[in-house]
Amino acid sequence: MRVFRLQVNGDTVEVAAPEHWTLLEVLRYKIGLTGSKQGCDKGDCGACTVLLDGVPTLACLSLAATVETSAITTIEGLLPAHRANGGEGADPVQDAFDRCGALQCGFCQPGMILSAKALLAKNPNPTSQEIKQSLSGNLCRCTGYTQIYEAVVLAAKGEQV
Amino acid sequence: MAARDQHGSEAPGDQGFRVVGKENRKVDGLAKATGEAIYTDDIMLPGMLHAKMLRSPHAHARVLSVDTSKAEALEGVVGVLVGAELPIRYGVIPWTPDENALATDKVRFIGDEVAAVAAVDEDTALEALDLIEVEYEILEAILDPQKALVTPEPAIHEGRKRRDNISKHVDLEFGDVDAQLEGADIVLEEDYSFHSTTHAPMEPHCAVAQPNSNGRLTLWSSTQITHYVHRALSRVLELDPARIRVIQPCLGGGFGGKSDPFSLEFVVAKLALKTGRPVKMLWTREEVFYAHRGRHPMQMHYRTTAKKDGTITSVDAKLLIDGGSYSSFGLVTTYYSGQLLTGPYNFPNYRFDSTRVFTNKPPNGPKRGHGSVQPRFAFEVQLDEIANRLGIDPIEIRRRNFIGADTETVNGQRISSNGFMQCLDEVEDASDWKARHGKLPHGRGLGVAGSMYISGTNYPVYPNKMPQAGVQLKIDRSGLVTVFTGGNDIGQGSNSMVAYLVAEELGLLPTSIHVVSADTDLCPVDLGAYSSRVTFMVGNAAIDGARKLRKQIIEAVAKHWEVEARDVRLMDGTVIDLSEAARSMTHVEAFHLAEELFDTLGSTGAYNTPELGGDYRGGTIGASPAYSFTAHAAEVEVDTETGRITVLKVWAAHDCGRALNPIIVRGQIEGSTYMGAAEVVLENHDLNRFGLHSGPSLLDYRIPTSLDAPDLEARIVESIDPEGPYGAKEAGEGPLHSTIPAIANAVFDAVGIRLRHLPFTPAKVLKALRELEEQN
């Protein structure tokens, strides 16, 4: 066991966990942020994607011990950050995913939404090929991806209802 | 008594639909988008133990002894379980209970469960597994279904009436098939095969059990069918079902792969009872591949006779179905493999002979389009070949054989609404078929295929006369309506569907409806999310329940306003007096009036299918209150140098009856289509010669990424069904069927080769191209 000092969604969190635990395990089973999902635990599916200093990262392949200096954003962090910036409702990307029907079982979507968030942060008007490329590390088994692309496009337009 | 009346397909009031047919948000969309939604593995209970499973390394072996003493002695291990402690067999079909939670006598595939350990954490449980000593007597493993067919010994399942490896055999003939050979203008006879594919839902199976101090047990499980898990748990644990509560939390995808009761559910329940502590088991991705229950591989022989004009005169099918190691849904699979092919085309004479055999592989079961995707592939390719030989356009031959609406199939299935012709029109138009089919440059091609599927079946898994779907509604003085349904929302949106229908019926916004589902303590029984039954059956039950409350609310308001009931309109959360337009009240006020008049407000609703199906053994299996219809056109590119097929685009037209929410319907069509396309060119649940999976990971089992998926264009066709909820039918499974043969037929259009054996690997393409070259 060791104590990890992590910066998660703007909070500094101290938590004790086995030294070999991944960021995903610590987030889910120690901190209780279960929005990050475990689909494969070996870096194949992308369901565990979180942002480390804004960069999409697989939490299941990241040892918690290696990310103590990074700002970690999980799916739970988006809505409060949006509200802190004076926004209403959910984060625009989350909202667009809901409006476009991109959320079927929803299991891949926390990771997918964070990948989309990172894409739009650096490229506010992505082409469809750029969207496909950026989301290709996040497997979705429900949608066939079309409604996910539509959600990203809608979010890029910045329209909210 | 359960109401079994039909509600008609039109809006409840004269103002038209206010909720149905609109692009409403899902009731749980934002909860899923924000990470708030709770899935089974998100449940953490105080003092919870973590369990792991010891699995067989042998495909077929007798278990001589299991010694757990060293594991039990390991610090941190709290409970150990072996097969002898759960001796009662189960199986989702009551006639074929052949599974044990943990092996009692034999293991039948690599990965079969042998023992389990619960410990303070997963690492300790894993360490303990290594300390369990199992003595096996290795038996000959039968992996080839052809061999299983002719090899009675060793029997994979002993002690059955049949002393062989045949799981189920069905042989049915309608009309006189052989008599059509004489005088047929064309007879086409070919072999086809469908390989093994799996569901690969993104959420691995997980179950959590909590023993309650009052002697009750709660199980949370990632199941598609809470009710059958409830029944099976009671049977295996020998515990009164009234002492068991089963809850399905948010589910991360199923596609049929979470329809059986699974060993982990019994194991965590037993370990929880044994240790007095909550126990969780989460399967690894590798374990999910071995749990499987995926699409049955089939070897299929089809012979079709037709007239010069393309009219089918007979179809004869012989199918060998690889069941894997257990029965699972196999009885139904065997029937479905023949029973569901008799539309959208008229088969005047039809025969099928289907045999499901046991092999020492992970068990096969229901995958999206259960039992009928494989035969559909074979037949649609054969039909395409007949069209080609007769010089008839492939879409035209499908039109000529159209069975029609309000009719009956040769095997006695009642067809009500049928939008197949419009589906064909849609894909012909969308793909620019007339200008492009047969005219694209070499290497590029267009193909078409059609199909139909059930909207539930009138055959409940265990025979009973109670409703197949039930709901309960409760009205709160706040204005909130809570609907309790046993239906399982597995991501397809069934809870949203229920909210839309109740909102429509009561004149509310969907946000005024709260849906509580899949909790056996709280919700009336529903038979679960399988056979595309939920929209049709739960939807009808929801309308039934809401309609009773609607009547009470209208009556109370009419009395209060002293007007006729027909003058009271419920709309968008407001109640309007049509006789004096200036008068209105909120729905909350109306609820209060109704509660004053009728006491506490609540209702139940139910649905049961009418009597359906042919009057012969098995005639009700596959008999559905309504069928969906589909046509797809696919465009492919075949690289003749590498043999690689790229599916460029699929146009998918699907007749789902009334689309209750077009966004959700489109999601089902697109999701089905992408899944089907992947089965043709990417996915292969392949085992090696020892029965070991060749790549049980999401890297090796290639489900498509965003870069692999074809472009998809869904077209919704709405042939309003007379008995569906507001005219709706299924959309979740039907649209998968046509994808696969449409791609196969497009490959023929592209390069002139007929591929009849899935998957279409580059090696098969190159071989076929070489053979074609040699012929020419």
Check whether residue A132 and residue A90 sit in a common domain: yes
Q: How far apart are CA B680 and CA B703, in angstroms?
A: 11
Note whether A101 and A148 are same-domain residues.
yes
Q: What's the gap in Å between the CA of A23 and the closest CA on chain B?
A: 16
Q: What is the mean pLDDT of residues B62-89?
A: 98
User: By the 8 A CB rule, do B245 and B519 touch?
Assistant: yes
Inter-chain CB proximity A101 and B663 less than 8 Å = yes
Q: Can you tell me the distance from the alpha carbon of B224 to that of B205, in angstroms, rounded to the nearest whole number? A: 11
| pLDDT at residue B581, as a whole number | 72
> Which residues of A fall within a CB distance of 8 Å from B699?
42, 44
Residue ranges and CATH numbers for the domains of chain B are: 29-37+466-607 (3.30.365.10), 41-139+215-251+258-290 (3.90.1170.50), 298-459+614-775 (3.30.365.10)
Give helix B534-561 / helix B587-598 axis angle, nearest 10°. 80
- Give the residue-averaged pLDDT of B677-685: 97
Cross-chain CB nearest to B251 (options A105, A132, A136): A105
Size of interface A-B (CB pairs under 8 A): 171
State the complex-level ipTM: 0.98
Q: Does A24 share its domain with A68? A: yes
Query: Cis before residue B759, ω within 30 degrees of 0?
Result: yes
| A31 and A54 co-located in one domain | yes
Question: Residue A69: which CATH number?
Answer: 3.10.20.30
Name the residue type at position B652.
A
Tens-place pLDDT, residues B726-761: 999 999 999 999 999 999 999 999 999 999 999 999
SS3 B651: strand
Q: Measure CB to CB from residue B705 to each of A38, A97, A139 and give the nearest one.
A: A139
**Candidate from B25, B490, B705 with C-beta closest to A98:** B25
* Interface probe with B: pick from A146, A147, A161, most Cβ of B within 10 Å: A146
Contact B35 A36 (CB under 8 A): yes
Give the whole-angstrom CA distance, residue B764 versus residue B227.
44
pLDDT above 70 coverage of chain B, percent = 99
Return the residue of B nearest to A47 by Cα: B202
Q: Which residues of B touch A148 (CB under 8 A)?
A: 706
Same domain (yes/no): A72, A88: no
Q: Do A106 and B698 touch (CB under 8 A)?
A: no
Does A137 have pLDDT greater than 60? yes
A12 with A28, same domain?
Answer: yes
Task: Tell me which residue in B663, B699, B712 faces A44 most closely, judged by beta carbons.
Answer: B699
Contacts for B457 with CB less than 8 Å, ≥ 6 apart: B531, B533, B609, B620, B621, B622, B623, B624
Residues A41-63: what's their mean pLDDT? 98
Q: In which band, very low, low, confident or very high, does the pLDDT at B459 lie, cut at 50, 70 and 90?
A: confident
Residues A100 and A52 grouped into a single domain = no
Check whether residue A116 and residue A135 sit in a common domain. yes
Nearest-CA distance A148 → chain B (Å): 10
Cβ distance A144 to B705 less than 8 Å, yes or no, reads no
Is B252 within 8 Å of A37 when comparing Cβ atoms?
Answer: yes
Residues β-bridged to residue B295: B197
pLDDT-derived band at B436 (thresholds 50, 70, 90) equals very high
Task: Verify whether the Cβ–Cβ distance A104 to B39 is below 8 Å.
Answer: no
Chain segment B469-519, per-residue pLDDT in tens: 999 999 999 999 999 999 999 999 999 999 999 999 999 999 999 999 999
Residue ending a domain, among A77, A102, A128, is A77
CATH number at residue A128: 1.10.150.120
CB–CB contact B201 A139 (8 Å): no
Average pLDDT, integer, range B286-307: 98
Dihedral pair phi/psi, residue B70, rounded to 5°: -70, -35
**What is the predicted pLDDT for the residue at B211?**
98
Probe site for chain A from B122, B202, B736 (most A CB atoms < 10 A) = B202
Candidates B42, B492, B697; nearest CB to A40? B697
For residue A38, list chain B residues with Cβ-Cβ distance below 8 A: 41, 204, 282
Q: Strand B645-655 relative to strand B627-638: parallel, antiparallel, unpaired?
A: antiparallel
Name the domain count of chain A: 2
Residues of B in contact with A87 (CB under 8 A): none
Instruction: Check CB contact under 8 Å for A135 and B706.
Output: yes
Residues from chain A contacting residue B42 (CB–CB below 8 Å) = 28, 34
* A159 band by pLDDT with thresholds 50, 70 and 90: low
Quick one: average pLDDT of B170-196?
A: 98
| Per-residue pLDDT at B6 exceeds 70 | no
Given a contact cutoff of 8 angstroms between Cβ atoms, the answer to whether B94 and B108 are in contact is no
Q: Note whether A147 and A91 are same-domain residues.
A: yes
Name the minimum distance, in Å, from the CA of B194 to any CA of chain A: 21
- Which chain B residue has its CA at the smallest distance from A17's CA? B121
Angle between helix B494-506 and B534-561 (nearest 10): 20
B306 CA: distance to closest CA in chain A (Å): 37
Residues of B in contact with A100 (CB under 8 A): 663
Among A77, A94, A128, where does a domain finish? A77
Q: Is 80 exceeded by the pLDDT of residue B4?
A: no
Whole-number mean pLDDT of chain B? 97
Kindly give, in sequence order, each residue whose CB lies less than 8 Å from that of residue B581, ignoring residues fewer than 6 positions away.
none
State how far residue A19 is from chain B, nearest Cα, in angstroms: 13
Q: How far apart are CA A148 and CA A139, in angstroms?
A: 11
> B645: which residues sit within 8 A by CB, 6+ positions away?
B636, B637, B638, B639, B680, B681, B743, B747, B760, B762, B765
Residue of B nearest to A80 (CA): B34
> Do A68 and A119 sit in the same domain of this protein?
no
Per the CB < 8 Å rule, is A144 touching B697?
Answer: no
Tell me how crowded residue B249 is: count the other CB atoms within 10 A of its CB. Answer: 20
| Range(s) of the domain holding residue A15 | 2-77
Nearest to B203 among A90, A105, A132 (CB): A105
Which of A38, A60, A77 is the last residue before a domain boundary? A77
Render B124-154 in DSSP notation, one character per residue: HHHHHHTT-EEEEEE------HHHHHH--SS
Same domain, A152 and A86: yes
- A146 and A82 in a common domain: yes
Question: What is the pLDDT at residue B633?
Answer: 98
Better pLDDT: B273 or B6: B273
- How near does any CA of chain B get to the CA of A68, in Å? 22
pLDDT of residue B480: 98
Q: Do A132 and B703 touch (CB under 8 A)?
A: no
Q: Looking at the predicted structure, is the pLDDT value of residue A161 above 90?
A: no
Q: Which residues in B639-773 belong to E strands, given as ranges? A: 645-655, 711-717
- Nearest chain A alpha carbon to B205: A39
- CB pair distance less than 8 Å for A94 and B25: no
pLDDT band at residue B5, thresholds of 50, 70 and 90?
low
Residue B285 to chain A, least CA–CA distance (Å) = 5
